[in-house]
Structure formats: structure tokens, C-alpha cells
Amino acid sequence: MAKFILKRILYMLVVLFCVITLTFFLVHSIPGDPITSMVQDLPIETRDLYLQKYGFDQPLIVQYVKFIQQLLTGDLGQSLRYPGRQVVDIVANYAPVSGIIGGIALAIGFAVGILLGIIAALNRNRWPDRLVMVLALLGTTIPTFVFAAVLQYVFTVTVPLFPTTGWGTWGHLVLPVACMCVGPLASYARYMRSSVLDITNQDFILTAEAKGVSSFRIVSRHIFRNSFLPCITMICTSIAGIFSGSFIIESIFAIPGLGKYFISAINDRDYSVVLGLNIIFTGTYILSILVCDILLAIIDPRIRIAEEN
């Protein structure tokens, strides 16, 4: 198992390096530069002065080498749109905010989704199945900003239960989490339902029934264990998505999260922030894939045994 993990970490670094290089050249090749997006009537001389200061006038390759050297010393550089702010501090301040909303929303969405999926599959073609399918359908087709706008208006204006925008208390958490857990809930419900349906057709369920095992135990011990495995592969990609936050929810509820920051950094051509955040996102994405593979190996004996010999 240890060799397996080491090899994967090596691959992770290679992938990370490729992504960084790809994003670097991508970001630098789209039109516009940090300063023109900030100041409207910039005289040419000031613009050249600015480009000189940050070394953007040098050929791209030179900039790339400088960027990589800087990176190896662990310095992700400074933001250009907000001079003086270290990218590392930006991540330290904003990632937990996005992480909390995303994390709780995913946890609720995942748990409730799995439950609904099982209920729907066990009552195939009866009203619970239909109900869950309709809910899942609504969850995926209604855009997030509709939920957010309606919830915001109803629960902060007509019935002032929660603060409309901002961040700081538990009250600020409720509405954004409610909007964000609709997506995962819908997808996990549908996905779990199809996985449970597959498993219930297997023969070992019949053996369990023949053993006189109670239906609750059949569901929890036999059906759940085997149908849960495919969901793990899905959960790891969504875990990676938590920190990148949701641009829409964060703008509507004015939450200082990474989602809004990343999109505006791209629009402002804030190269160092875009590259810095992208490294963090890619890192968490690949890490979560590694964790999920390890988790899968632990839980699914077939893969673990295959890995060992």
C-alpha cells in the first residue's frame, strides 16, 4: 500500500507541474493586462512603467522561468489588482469561508441524497420513487440563482429571519448552504438509486433473504455497502469543488469566498492570483482523487487484494 501511495504522489507532482505550465501560458495569452482593466484612461507611459515593474514586458519564457523559481521558494507572489496582498494570505482568509459553506452543503446534499436514493430504489415505481425523481429533476434543472434570489427575498425581507448578506455569524450560513446543497442532493439521489437498483438484482441478496436476515439489515449491510462504492468516486471530485466555492452564491449573498475572488481575478487579468489559486485548486482536486482511491481500496476488498498482489 505504501508503494502505491508514493507512486501516486509522484504522479501528482507531475500533473501539478503540467497544469501550472498550461495555465500560465493560457492566462498570459488572453488579451488585456492587469493595469488596463483597472484604470480607464491610462496614458501609454504609465502603462509601460507598470509593465516594466512587474516584468510583463519581458518575453513570456523569461517570465515563466522567474515564476517557477519564485514558486519553488513557496512564494505565490502578490496580487496585482489588490497590491500588497500575498496570494497565500488571500487563500488563508477566503478558503475557509468557501470551504465551510461548500463542505456543509456537500455533507447535507450527500447524506440526504444517498438516503433518498435508497428509499427511491427500494420503492421502485411507487410514489416515493416518483417523488424523489421529481425532486432530483427540479434540483438539477432549476438554476441556483433562482433558488438564491427567492430564498433571499422570502427569508430576509418578507420574513426577516436571516441577515440578507455578509458573513460572520451562523445566521449568515443558513441560506447559502440551503441553496448549495440542492445540486449535490439531486445528483447523489439519482446516482445512488441507479446503483442500488443494480445491486438489488444480484444473487447474494437472495442468499441473505434465504438466511432470514431482516430487510433493514439487508439494506444497511449488504445493499448499502456495495452500492456506496461508486458514490465514493463521485464524492472526491465534489470535495475538490468545495474550496473553489460558487461564484453565484457568493455574489448574491456577498460572501467573501474564493469563488467570486477567482472569477474576478480572471476578469481583472490578476495573473499571480489566478495562478496561485489554480495551484491550490488543482492540488486539492488531485489530493482528493488520491484520498478517494485509497478509501476505495480500503473499503472494496476486491481492489485492495488486486493492488496487493
Q: Which stretch binds another protein (CB under 8 A): 57-65, 67-75, 108-116, 188-196?
A: 188-196
Reported residue count of the chain is: 309
CB 233 within 8 A of CB 296: yes
Q: Could you say whether residue 289 binds another protein (CB under 8 A)? A: yes
CB 36 within 8 A of CB 47: yes
Cα 234 from Cα 209, distance rounded (Å): 30
Q: Which residues pair with 86 in a beta bridge?
A: 78
Binding to another protein, residues 33-72 (CB under 8 A): 33, 35-43, 45-46, 49-50, 52-54
Q: Could you say whether residue 5 binds another protein (CB under 8 A)? A: no
Q: Which of 9, 11, 68, 126 binds another protein (CB under 8 A)?
A: 11
Q: Could you say whether residue 127 binds another protein (CB under 8 A)? A: no
Q: Could you say whether residue 85 binds another protein (CB under 8 A)? A: yes
Binding to another protein, residues 142-181 (CB under 8 A): 142-143, 145-146, 149-150, 152-153, 156-157, 160, 163-170, 172-173
Binding to another protein, residues 208-247 (CB under 8 A): 208-215, 217, 221-222, 225-226, 229-230, 233-234, 237
Q: Could you say whether residue 74 binds another protein (CB under 8 A)? A: no
Q: Which of 56, 67, 253, 271 binds another protein (CB under 8 A)?
A: 253
Taking CA atoms, 64 is separated from 23, 81, 84, 95, 199, in Å, by 11, 20, 21, 26, 51
